[in-house]
Structure 1
């Protein structure tokens, strides 16, 4: 483990994690076991200590692959902060999904078994469950902490009001509070700054952004009006998101952002991916940016963002060109939107 690498506390907790987390959605799908293990090795060698996963990734196979690596590297495994998620279907039964006590009991035990561990550092609810009473979910998580099965808990894909309601309910009962929120966040997707980021800051929660490169757009590999081909996710399987590609391609804001990212990257002798990741890591409340990689080479390129120092002018330039677009009240009102984007700073 590289002791000089940049670390941050995991939200309101005292646990310390690398500024870039290793996302493992590709494990067992786009990366086989050997490749996945090589990716973990490269991440650890760079100073990384935070691995994020979910039970639903490759129907549990991702957790199994990580479990086999943990078993083969006990000394390195002891230094890792391990996170996973539960909520989405892991079977065909009516209780094989959701955040009920019934489902989460099984989901958590299954994740522990696949990982080959007795304790998970961070257990996250993968999305809101409108059916299960929130106090049922939170009480399960409180019990899991008390039993030593998890150290902390957090959420993913929650809205601002959902997050705030959960924090208030936990406080009312004197239960452990959530420490993290895992949202989609990038230069291309900044709508969370209206409500979700302020809610996280107010609650002292750390953000763990997923899709920090906007599905590959911020890597600089796409060209205007040229449908992707070749060794990219969309190029290999166009049906998975071609309509979304068309919409983003037709949006002039997309190309203004990409041009700005590319220009700054050229000035630094860096890659577009590294610039986009460096900007995101500098945003308020961000604890650790989740990297997704199919190859060791992709991971190493992304890890290079840790060494990239953007100056204030470059940060501001990227922030201005990617300003969230909305005409909805109250965010579209002059003055009000600017106050929201200051995240509570000044009136």
Structure 2
């Protein structure tokens, strides 16, 4: 498999990551170990050097199962580790223990050590806060992150699902301490869900952060009719969502047909054309789902096509500024 991947700087850092990031949430609970390893092999061969996971992933197999599976793949060929930008997350409950969750300094330290053990590595390249913890002072969070950096256990710090104001606050606290601050934000962003354009993406751009878009297919809605075979759209809520947007989705499918591209590839390409976006997370369950979109970063959408897409899925910005004048 030829490597034609495009790489981009992660925000203002000098780190280069692939425009497609391999998400691993399906690995273990929905995709067997053998198939997961095959997808990881294919992604690595195709030049994807950015792999994202989280300590809570595992579904019915239990929290940590996906990290453990990924650690097994890394252990098969340790030489691959140095060529991969490995990202994981902290925040979600890992047990019934009241302190085994959130962003306390204690939990951040313990969770990082546990992730390192499951992943079978000595450091994590990008350690992301999975959600905001309103009870944790930013000074406490940075104390923990600075300690992990000093210990060589993590390299960069990122956020996920953070609002714009929290991104600004975290970066200002870091700047006051003469620290790099946040490298990136991993946000829900796709053609259907564009609220990140209001304040999250502008905040990231203002602070020189990369944006990593998760759920680029909107849970399968943007993947076209073939997504039904995936099982992602079998839930009643997803079917209702598809019915509610039937006209939009049909117009989008028609546009993609005129482009000679699948809806999945166009949805990904659109994201990678958006200002501030560094990488889009793909979470394939099967090998063919990966290989069918590997060309998306090279797909160029002209201004007319982007305008047509906006006509189908209108932007939600700019953000209102209330009484500001």
- What's the TM-score once normalised by structure 2's chain length? 0.92
In 2, Cα distance between equivalents of 1:43 and 1:230: 22
In 2, Cα distance between equivalents of 1:263 and 1:304: 20
With over 3 angstroms needed to count, the CA separation of the structure-2 counterparts of 1:231 and 1:271, relative to structure 1, is: same
**8 A Cα contact 1:118 1:149, kept in partner:** yes
User: What is aligned with 1:343?
Assistant: none
**8 A Cα contact 1:261 1:276, kept in partner:** no
User: What is aligned with 1:345?
Assistant: none
The aligned runs of 1:57-76 (5 Å cut-off) are: 57-58=57-58, 59-76=63-80
State the secondary structure of the residue aligned to 1:192: helix
User: What is aligned with 2:320?
Assistant: 330
CA deviation digits over 1:219-272, x for unaligned, max 9? 1128xxxxx96541232xx2xxx235424532xxx3444234322321232211
With over 3 angstroms needed to count, the CA separation of the structure-2 counterparts of 1:182 and 1:94, relative to structure 1, is: same
Instruction: Using the TM superposition, name which of 72-81 and 153-162 deviates more.
Output: 72-81
2:147 counterpart of 1:143:
yes
In 2, Cα distance between equivalents of 1:262 and 1:332: 37
2:124 counterpart of 1:120:
yes
2:298 counterpart of 1:307:
yes
CA deviation digits over 1:196-217, x for unaligned, max 9? 1110100110000000000000
User: What is aligned with 1:53?
Assistant: 53
Q: CA deviation at 1:331?
A: 7.4
State the secondary structure of the residue aligned to 1:78: helix
**8 A Cα contact 1:152 1:179, kept in partner:** yes
State the secondary structure of the residue aligned to 2:142: helix
The unaligned stretches of length 5 or more in structure 1 are: 223-227, 337-347
Q: CA deviation at 1:332?
A: 10
The aligned runs of 1:254-269 (5 Å cut-off) are: 254-269=245-260
2:224 counterpart of 1:220:
yes
User: What is aligned with 1:198?
Assistant: 202
With over 3 angstroms needed to count, the CA separation of the structure-2 counterparts of 1:267 and 1:248, relative to structure 1, is: closer
- What's the TM-score once normalised by structure 1's chain length? 0.87
User: What is aligned with 2:158?
Assistant: 154
Q: CA deviation at 1:98?
A: 0.2
The unaligned stretches of length 5 or more in structure 2 are: none
In 1, Cα distance between equivalents of 2:119 and 2:2: 24
The aligned runs of 1:14-33 (5 Å cut-off) are: 14-33=14-33
State the secondary structure of the residue aligned to 2:219: coil
With over 3 angstroms needed to count, the CA separation of the structure-2 counterparts of 1:230 and 1:51, relative to structure 1, is: closer
State the secondary structure of the residue aligned to 1:29: coil
With over 3 angstroms needed to count, the CA separation of the structure-2 counterparts of 1:315 and 1:11, relative to structure 1, is: same
In 1, Cα distance between equivalents of 2:322 and 2:149: 42
With over 3 angstroms needed to count, the CA separation of the structure-2 counterparts of 1:230 and 1:331, relative to structure 1, is: farther
In 2, Cα distance between equivalents of 1:244 and 1:268: 27
Q: 2:83 aligns with which of 79, 86, 95?
A: 79
Q: CA deviation at 1:10?
A: 1.2
User: Which structure 1 residue ranges, 4+ long, deviate > 6 Å from structure 2?
Assistant: none
